Amino acid sequence: MELIRLPNTATSEEVAKALKEHGHCIVENLVAPEVMDRIAEEMSEFITTSPYGEDKFLGNLTQRTGSLVARSETARELIRHPLVLDSAKKHLSKSSTMQLQLTQIITVNPGAPSQILHQDQLAWDFFDFPDDFETQCNTLWAMTEYTAENGATRVVPNSMYAGARQKFTEEQTVVAEMPKGSVMIYTGKIYHGAGTNTTDKIRQAININYCAGWLRQEENQYLATPPEIAQTLDDEMLKLMGYQCACFAMGYVRDFEDPLDVFRGKKERRSAGFNIVTDNGNDVTKNYAEELGG
């Protein structure tokens, strides 16, 4: 069985369709390999000092290096890649807002064994979300070449509606081989895991995940990016990081105020609430807001 591959001219409609029907797709050569080299350079001091995982899931020979918003200006371009963001918005359209869930470089070192096959949405206490509710739109960018030998991610085709806590074997997987600069976009439901690295070189991926705005983020964006750096970012980036209300009330500050207004120190005190939902709501919340009136 082959994985779903799209050219780098693909539209977000095509990506969203692939996610719905297959739980994943690979977009080859979406950015130039030099973009990956720049990120490697900006992140190198942090990567060398990142600890190994403490368990088999995180990988005893695997390093995870986060805080990409704060640490790498080039990574911010990937975080806001238009194709990825538009596809994620479509994929997560049942929720009023979406947000960055985590950013990390995953370095699979030589000799690292394969990771347990899993769904990323297990993060929320293994809650078995309904098939028609999508929690996440996730990306693994090939920061190095992604090969069967160096531990490229393995995917279980058509596993996205199998339900929580299912077990699959390596024989049921297909390797997501792809050139450096390509990206695999996948849902929180598809079973996958890092492969075994049998080479003498590292395998690296940039893992950037997005989730429904009302779910708790895995990487704490408010602490990962110090306020003085956050203040230099534009509103769109801050909203993506979670400086906005999800639905009508999730994340308000003080007297029911909008978090971005508070962070920017705006004098005018605008109340959060269903008025927010009219801009970015899903159909159910928008209709509710309209019924409530001003």
Ligand X SMILES: O=C(O)CCC(=O)C(=O)O
In this structure, what are the phi and psi dihedrals at residue 210, rounded to the nearest 5 degrees? -125, 150
Beta strands of the chain (E only): which ranges?
A: 5-6, 24-27, 62-66, 98-108, 136-142, 154-155, 174-175, 183-187, 192-193, 203-212
**Which of ligand X, Fe ion, none lies near 138, with the C-beta cut-off 5 to 8 A by kind?**
none
Our CB check for Fe ion shows the closer of 210 and 243 to be 210
Q: Do 138 and 187 touch, CB atoms closer than 8 A?
A: yes
- Helix, strand, coil tally for the chain in percent (to 5): 30, 20, 50
* Chain mean position to CA 2: 23
Tell me: does residue 218 bind Fe ion (CB under 5 A): no
Q: What angle do CA 155, 158, 160 make, to 5 degrees?
A: 85
Our CB check for Fe ion shows the closer of 120 and 177 to be 120
Q: In the set 62, 120, 142, 238, which binds Fe ion (CB under 5 A)?
A: 120
What are the residues binding ligand X (CB under 6 A)? 106, 108, 115, 120, 140, 153, 192-194, 205
Our CB check for ligand X shows the closer of 146 and 248 to be 146
Our CB check for ligand X shows the closer of 120 and 219 to be 120
- d(CA 121, CA 88) in angstroms, rounded, equals 15
**Which of ligand X, Fe ion, none lies near 112, with the C-beta cut-off 5 to 8 A by kind?**
none
- The CA-to-CA distance between both ends of the chain, in Å, stands at 54
Q: In the complex, what is the shortest distance from the CB of residue 97 to ligand X, in angstroms, rounded to a whole number?
A: 23
Tell me: does residue 219 bind Fe ion (CB under 5 A): no
- Residue 176 tokens, joined: 């997501």
**Number of residues in contact with Fe ion, rule: CB under 5 A?**
1
266: helix, coil or strand?
coil
**Which of ligand X, Fe ion, none lies near 106, with the C-beta cut-off 5 to 8 A by kind?**
ligand X
For Fe ion, the nearest residue by Cβ is 120
Q: In the complex, what is the shortest distance from the CB of residue 195 to ligand X, in angstroms, rounded to a whole number?
A: 7
Our CB check for ligand X shows the closer of 145 and 258 to be 145
Q: In the complex, what is the shortest distance from the CB of residue 146 to ligand X, in angstroms, rounded to a whole number?
A: 8
Residues that bind Fe ion (CB under 5 A): 120
